[in-house]
Amino acid sequence: MYSRSENWIGVNGLIRSSELQNMDLIDLLSERHTLVRRMAENVWNDQSDLSISNSEWSIMARIYKKQPTISHVTKNVDISRQAIHKFLKNLSAKGLVEINNVENNKKEKCVQLTALGEECYEKNMNLKAQLENKIAETIGMEQVNKLKELLQLDWDIEKIRS
């Protein structure tokens, strides 16, 4: 068992902050992403009777205020086509999305959030804003803004791959 002074950054196997010092950029981004996603999911699930996974949130983010086709969602979410269909079925069963036929296309279907889906999505956006504020209280708003600016830059990653 570790004491509080050893500065754990999470639970369920996440590493101590002292171990972050030896990580490269890719692993640091991954660790922090995993931590804040897990925290956001837990905050939502602790406050709501309607459990929604991070993958489901990711899909909901792509369809919020839109009516994309399922194939468009599949191309823009880094989840397998089969899994997206499963998540959409789950979201539909929870009353968060509705799936409709596309006019003049018998194969394609479109998806949109229901009123409940939009309400949940907007509440979750507020919870994430509160989490961001707590991070800002710890590391400072200036640092949060700098981090956001860096992450929004065009890193030209496609050139790096070649």
pLDDT tens for each residue of 91-135 = 999 999 999 998 888 889 999 999 999 999 999 999 999 999 999
pLDDT score of 3: 37
Averaged pLDDT for residues 135-141: 95
Query: Which pLDDT does position 115 carry in this prediction?
Result: 98
Q: How far is CA 94 from CA 91, 103, 114, 121, 161, in A?
A: 5, 25, 10, 13, 40
Distance set, CA 78 to CA 58, 59, 64, 72, 106 (Å): 9, 10, 17, 12, 26
DSSP letter at 69? B
Q: 57-92 pLDDT, tens per residue?
A: 999 999 999 999 999 999 999 999 999 999 999 999
Distance, CA of 114 to CA of 77 (rounded, Å): 20
Confidence of residue 142 (pLDDT cuts 50, 70, 90): very high
Q: Which two tokens stand for residue 33?
A: 């992403």
7 pLDDT band (50/70/90 cuts)? very low
The average pLDDT across 39-48 equals 92
Q: Taking a C-beta distance cutoff of 8 angstroms, is the pair 144, 136 a contact?
A: yes
Residues in the chain, overall count: 162
Residue 14 has pLDDT above 60, yes or no: no
As given in the structure block, the two tokens for residue 87 are 């998540």
* Sole residue written with tokens 């009353």: 95
Lowest pLDDT segment from 6-10, 27-31, 131-135: 6-10
Q: Which of 35-39, 134-138, 158-162 has the lowest mean pLDDT?
A: 158-162
Q: Which helix (H) or strand (E) holds 16?
A: none
Contacts of 63 (CB under 8 A, 6+ apart): 73, 97, 111, 112, 113
